[in-house]
A and B are shown apart, each in its own frame.
Chain A
Amino acid sequence: MARTLGARYDVVIVGAGKAGVQTASSLRDEGFTGEILLIGDEASAPYDRPPLSKSFLSGQESLDDITLHGQGFYESRRITLSTGTSAVGLDRAAGNLLLDDGQAIGYGRLVLATGARARPLPLSGSELGRVVGLRTAADATFLRKALATAGRVVVVGGGFIGLEVAAVAARTYRCEVVVVEALPRLMSRSALGPSASGALRNVESLGARVLTGTAIAAVHGSDGRDADGVTTANGDFIPADLVICGVGVLPNTELAEAAGLAAANGVLVDDTLRTADPRVWAVGDCTAFPSADGAGIVRLESLQNATDQGRHVARALATGTAEPYCALPWFWSDQGDLRFQSVGLTDGHDRTVVLGDPGSGSFSVLAFREGRLLGGDSVNAANDHRALRRLLATGRERWEAAVTPEACAAPGFVLRDVARRLAEPRAAAPRSI
């Protein structure tokens, strides 16, 4: 395609999800006065993604309700927002971003906030109608309509998205729900064992059936057009009017890779979130970065990560000084009345301690490695979650001796009291903007 030379911007941000919007917005908060272009490939104005599997799906909130900013926000901050626009190529030597409309946009700095897409089911029949994923507002709008008329729903994948959707399908839409998870337990990537057991009891109490350790062999559609069920690896057929896939995401790294930037489950960046090209940075779900707390190269899919990384890179671009990124990760999931909250990265833990009684439905799980607290999950226990966030945001020397596995397991241990006594008065949030 012949390229026409478009405008030139000081900062071009590819991707208008939370990470991209935060980057643009924080640039202004930091006093950056240059020209900013923010492009997004979705048609709608930038919106909040977490409600898509929660309050938006259940119909409590509309797309307007979850829109990030009203009209006037981008203009008032002199952010040029271009929705429905895709980047198709990157010429780093020339400093040009190539758009799908044929324009070549010049950039001073480029921020990749390209996000991730729902991982497709690698199975025969997954191309049939009524096999749906959930990532975008368009997906969620379709799914909301489909759930309203579906009787039987199979949810493939027992992670956050699968369980949130299963809860809404069972509770709000009164569907018969079967959750099929290939691994031996639910939320194996995102939750500690006792929390996963709590989530299992919860989703079953909403009326869903859960099959763990069960792989799907194929999606079935007798008319060759729409799915009407799935076949498991052991040959069982589960009928379904709707098959919802929640089997994770794939980071959108193609633009970076085609331009010769390294990617491995995410665009690779250094500890300041800059790629090997000093003019190109990455933020949010698409970014593989070295964890500040020794968990190796990680890629996190969360609103916290999108927001904090966007703010971090904005500060680096506005001030010209790049600091290491070290925000504390946290996550949450709402599954019916179950509120799951977690903090820290707990992969590689060698010991867990449960606080409270899982049978009561309100408890927390702390994870340790070699006696060192890595983080933990809370299930309907906001007080523990807040205490953990406060502690982990405070220098370890202030509290580590009081939060050993032995101390936490002792009768009468109350995390909130320890945090009140030993943590900074409030969580050390990223520096004020």
Chain B
Amino acid sequence: MPWVTYQHRDGTSDKVDVPVGTSIMRAALANNVPGIVGECGGELMCATCHVYVLTPRGLDPGLSEDEDEMLDFAACPRRPESRLSCQIRMRDELDGLIVETPEAQN
């Protein structure tokens, strides 16, 4: 099963196996990973699952218009590598994905 690493600001990290098709947000919640809230359940109505994608650069598919709009609601500064983790669904090519969780989500 592909895995993802959630790196936290305090230097700790969580490495989680994520079934193909499951979002990085859901995987975080299911595994009690701190730093990701996912308040709206992945419906693109909030920005509380904001992450910075460290690896790979230039994740495909890119931002949809809805995600782009909602990212402006994020509690922490938006960066070029900002994504909503509910919109990143695991697939085999993303094995080893590394995301950084921001300091705050609300």
A427: CB under 8 A from chain B? yes
A-B pairs with beta carbons under 8 A, tally: 64
Chain B residues with Cβ under 8 A from A334's Cβ? Answer: 43
Contact B45 A330 (CB under 8 A): yes
Interface centre among A67, A70, A71 (most CB of B within 10 A): A70
Chain B residues with Cβ under 8 A from A431's Cβ? Answer: 106
Chain A residues with a Cβ closer than 8 Å to the other chain, count: 34
Min CB–CB distance B88 → chain A (angstroms): 15
Contact B72 A332 (CB under 8 A): no
Contact A432 B104 (CB under 8 A): yes
Chain B residues with Cβ under 8 A from A385's Cβ? Answer: 69
- With A307-B39, A330-B45, A386-B70 already in contact, the answer to whether A432 and B32 are too (CB < 8 A) is no
In the bound complex, what is the Cα–Cα distance between A69 and B25 (angstroms)?
11
B65: CB under 8 A from chain A? yes
Contact A386 B73 (CB under 8 A): yes
Chain B residues with a Cβ closer than 8 Å to the other chain, count: 22
- With A51-B41, A330-B45, A426-B72 already in contact, the answer to whether A65 and B26 are too (CB < 8 A) is yes
In the bound complex, what is the Cα–Cα distance between A274 and B45 (angstroms)?
28
Min CB–CB distance A258 → chain B (angstroms): 33
- With A382-B66, A433-B106 already in contact, the answer to whether A426 and B74 are too (CB < 8 A) is yes
In the complex formed, the residue of A with least CB distance to B27 is A70
- With A67-B30, A383-B69 already in contact, the answer to whether A50 and B43 are too (CB < 8 A) is yes
Contact A76 B41 (CB under 8 A): no
Chain B residues with Cβ under 8 A from A433's Cβ? Answer: 106
Partner of B41, one of A303, A330, A429: A303
In the bound complex, what is the Cα–Cα distance between A417 and B47 (angstroms)?
21
In the bound complex, what is the Cα–Cα distance between A383 and B69 (angstroms)?
6
Chain B residues with Cβ under 8 A from A427's Cβ? Answer: 73
Min CB–CB distance A310 → chain B (angstroms): 11
A73: CB under 8 A from chain B? yes
In the bound complex, what is the Cα–Cα distance between A97 and B65 (angstroms)?
48
- With A69-B32, A432-B106 already in contact, the answer to whether A303 and B75 are too (CB < 8 A) is no
Contact B41 A69 (CB under 8 A): no
In the complex formed, the residue of A with least CB distance to B65 is A382
Looking at chain A's contact residues, the main secondary structure is mixed
- With A307-B39, A382-B70 already in contact, the answer to whether A429 and B106 are too (CB < 8 A) is yes
- With A73-B32, A76-B32 already in contact, the answer to whether A339 and B66 are too (CB < 8 A) is yes
Chain A residues with Cβ under 8 A from B41's Cβ? Answer: 48, 50-51, 66, 303
In the bound complex, what is the Cα–Cα distance between A139 and B78 (angstroms)?
40
B59: CB under 8 A from chain A? no
In the bound complex, what is the Cα–Cα distance between A231 and B6 (angstroms)?
56
A294: CB under 8 A from chain B? no
Contact B45 A70 (CB under 8 A): no
In the complex formed, the residue of B with least CB distance to A307 is B39
Contact B29 A68 (CB under 8 A): yes
Partner of B32, one of A64, A72, A330, A383: A72
Contact A65 B22 (CB under 8 A): yes
Chain B residues with Cβ under 8 A from A382's Cβ? Answer: 44, 65-66, 69-70
In the bound complex, what is the Cα–Cα distance between A431 and B45 (angstroms)?
18
Partner of B43, one of A68, A332, A386: A332
Contact B45 A341 (CB under 8 A): yes
A6: CB under 8 A from chain B? no
Min CB–CB distance A301 → chain B (angstroms): 15
Chain A residues within 8 Å of B, Cβ to Cβ: 48, 50-51, 64-73, 76, 303-304, 307, 330, 332, 334, 339, 341, 382-383, 385-386, 389, 426-427, 429-433
A-B contact pairs, 5 of them (CB 8 A): A51-B41, A67-B29, A70-B30, A339-B66, A426-B73
